[in-house]
Structure 1
């Protein structure tokens, strides 16, 4: 059983997945891996089109 954290609030579980056989899953969030550069908050999720941290309401 794998718990999925809310993308903005890592203490909140929004779902659980049960994997069977040779299955795997990868998730990522900007909640724990972010930093400030001047007044701008950046994170490790990179937009491949720009090479910069993604700027999206989806994260």
Structure 2
């Protein structure tokens, strides 16, 4: 993989690590690749149990 900068520089690498978070699958598609995964974000709810119930979770 070759990454070209706007200033004309080039970086060559065999692996790219991206910190794109929830947009990772869309970024892969923008690069013309098939991601092999789908990110389906949803909001969760979290509850704190009383200490005597900790063993069931």
Q: Give TM-score, length-normalised by structure 2.
A: 0.21
More strand by share: 1
Q: Indicate the structure (1 or 2) with the bigger Cα radius of gyration.
A: 2
* Structure number with higher helix proportion: 2
Which structure is richer in relative contact order (CA contacts within 8 A, separation 6 or more)?
1
